[in-house]
């Protein structure tokens, strides 16, 4: 049975992006490939094997559930790091399976010591420190407690990392705040060092910081959005490209999203199209119905705004985006017929719709639109 749309993942694009990143970051810094939220909508199952083939052997996810899924996909040599949510019940599983995880409060740490004792394996922990983001991360008082717990239970812990997350390295507006976080991080690492606790990896940079602040790369970078071919912000891209002679974007978009025309019909001048009155045909129209709606990840805010590619032309989405369908204006394309390809994201002949142009219409970030592509939509790896 054919699905209403297909998401294609370009192997060549993933490989090219990872090669570019490896070249930028250098061999001495570990790249952890961030594949949370189903690899930013690309599909963990499609993305991870390609990344591994390109040399990635460390992956980051948000939750223990994602880690469990990744465990079934990754090859045995690859490591997993959980950066966020874990239930107390998941700790034992993580320790048993040698999954690395962030610890952001000292109460959790005591439980971890207990579990590690039970399993007879050390817990592979990354201590997340508060440096100014004010989200997760331990404050000073908790860090003191943490050092105590680790030193008293030395054999139950392997200190994989000391880390923090920067509050917006993608914008120069946050420069002072980010610089403060970086200095604070270094002070805290020294403080740990004085107590005999030196981590295997110090890491603070996501995509934006890894590109904009090379000194923030330290021992490991946690790269998400760049691998999928998008810059974290236009500022980050402009900063990078301004130093390059050729002015060519080194990244390629990985995702294409395609469907087909379900049916076509004529609408007389003066009629409204689809629900309500938001689209009035001001001339005789020919419309194409496409079986993709907001339940498939095509945002309702693209009503009367979005663009799709049909027969090598860019055409407008008219009327409301419905739950399962959208309507495109094909009045100027007399040759289109049911079954013709429709591109929501990607290229057709010499035209392209990127998520960026798509999200500018709807004021959504690439991140949000991509991660809203449902897990149920089939992914297909193409060249």
Query: Whose CA is closest to 99, among 73, 78, 114?
Result: 78
Residues 118-137 that bind ligand PLP (CB under 6 A): none
Query: Whose CA is closest to 81, among 124, 115, 130, 114?
Result: 124
Over the window 33 to 52, marking each residue x when it contacts ligand PLP by CB under 6 A and - when it does not, the resulting string is: -x-x----------------
The region of 51-59, 63-71, 201-209, 309-317 touching ligand PLP under the rule CB under 6 A is 201-209
Please, what is the minimum distance in Å from the beta carbon of residue 112 to ligand PLP?
19
Please, what is the minimum distance in Å from the beta carbon of residue 108 to ligand PLP?
17
DSSP state letter for 103? E
**Is residue 223 at the binding interface for ligand PLP, with CB under 6 A as the rule?**
yes
Interface pick for ligand PLP out of 217, 222, 258, 379 (rule CB under 6 A): 222
Q: State which H helix or E strand residue 128 sits in.
A: strand 123-128
**Is residue 206 at the binding interface for ligand PLP, with CB under 6 A as the rule?**
yes
Smaller CB distance to ligand PLP: residue 66 or 329? 66
Helix (H, G, I), strand (E, B) or coil at 338: coil
Q: ∠113-119-123 over CA atoms, to 5°?
A: 45
The region of 42-50, 138-146, 216-224, 309-317 touching ligand PLP under the rule CB under 6 A is 216-224
Interface pick for ligand PLP out of 225, 261, 308, 345 (rule CB under 6 A): 225
**Is residue 83 at the binding interface for ligand PLP, with CB under 6 A as the rule?**
yes
Task: Indicate the residue whose CB is closest to ligand PLP.
Answer: 224
- Distance (Å) of CA 379 to CA 3, 8, 72, 127, 369: 11, 6, 17, 35, 16
214: Cβ contacts below 8 Å, ≥ 6 apart: none
Q: What is the DSSP string of 37-58?
A: HHHHTT-HHHHHHHHHHTT--E
Interface pick for ligand PLP out of 232, 291, 293, 319 (rule CB under 6 A): 232
- Distance (Å) of CA 278 to CA 281, 291, 320: 10, 20, 7
Query: Whose CA is closest to 166, among 112, 229, 106, 212?
Result: 212
**Is residue 207 at the binding interface for ligand PLP, with CB under 6 A as the rule?**
yes
Please, what is the minimum distance in Å from the beta carbon of residue 109 to ligand PLP?
19
The region of 12-20, 114-122, 218-226, 339-347 touching ligand PLP under the rule CB under 6 A is 218-226
Please, what is the minimum distance in Å from the beta carbon of residue 207 to ligand PLP?
3
- Cα–Cα dist 186/216, whole Å: 10
Which residues here bind ligand PLP, judged by CB under 6 A?
A: 34, 36, 83, 165, 206-208, 222-225, 232
């Amino acid at each position: 049975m054919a699905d209403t749309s297909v998401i294609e993942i370009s192997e060549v694009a993933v490989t090219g992006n990872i090669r570019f990143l490896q070249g930028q970051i250098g061999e001495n810094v570990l790249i952890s490939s961030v594949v949370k939220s189903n690899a930013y909508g690309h599909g963990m199952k499609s993305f991870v094997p390609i990344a591994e083939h390109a040399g990635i052997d460390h992956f980051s996810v948000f939750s223990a559930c994602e880690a469990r899924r990744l465990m079934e996909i990754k090859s045995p040599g690859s490591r997993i790091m959980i950066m966020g949510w874990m239930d107390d019940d998941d700790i034992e599983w993580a320790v048993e399976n040698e999954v690395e995880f962030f610890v952001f409060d000292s109460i959790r740490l005591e439980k971890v010591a207990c579990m590690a004792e039970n399993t007879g394996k050390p817990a592979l922990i990354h201590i997340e420190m508060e440096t100014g983001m004010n989200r997760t991360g331990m404050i000073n008082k908790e860090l003191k407690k943490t050092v105590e717990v680790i030193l008293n239970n030395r054999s139950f812990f392997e200190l994989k990392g000391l880390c923090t997350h920067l509050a917006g390295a993608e914008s120069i507006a946050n420069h002072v705040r980010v610089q403060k976080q970086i200095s604070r991080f270094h002070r805290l690492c020294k403080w740990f060092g004085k107590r005999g606790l030196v981590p295997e990896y110090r890491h603070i940079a996501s995509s934006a910081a890894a590109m904009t602040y090379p000194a923030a790369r330290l021992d490991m970078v946690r790269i998400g959005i760049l691998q999928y071919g998008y810059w974290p912000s236009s500022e980050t891209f402009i900063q990078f490209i301004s130093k390059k002679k050729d002015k060519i974007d080194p990244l390629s978009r990985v995702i294409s999203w395609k469907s087909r025309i379900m049916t076509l019909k004529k609408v007389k001048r003066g009629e409204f199209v689809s629900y309500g009155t938001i689209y009035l045909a001001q001339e005789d129209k020919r419309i194409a119905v496409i079986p993709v709606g907001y339940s498939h990840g095509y945002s309702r805010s693209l009503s009367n705004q979005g663009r799709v590619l049909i027969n090598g032309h860019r055409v407008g989405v008219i009327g409301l985006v419905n739950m399962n369908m959208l309507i495109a204006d094909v009045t100027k394309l007399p040759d289109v017929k049911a079954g013709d390809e429709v591109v929501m994201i990607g290229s057709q002949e010499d035209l392209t719709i990127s998520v960026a142009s798509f999200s500018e219409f709807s004021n959504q970030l690439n991140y949000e639109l991509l991660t809203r592509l449902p897990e149920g939509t089939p992914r297909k790896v193409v060249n």
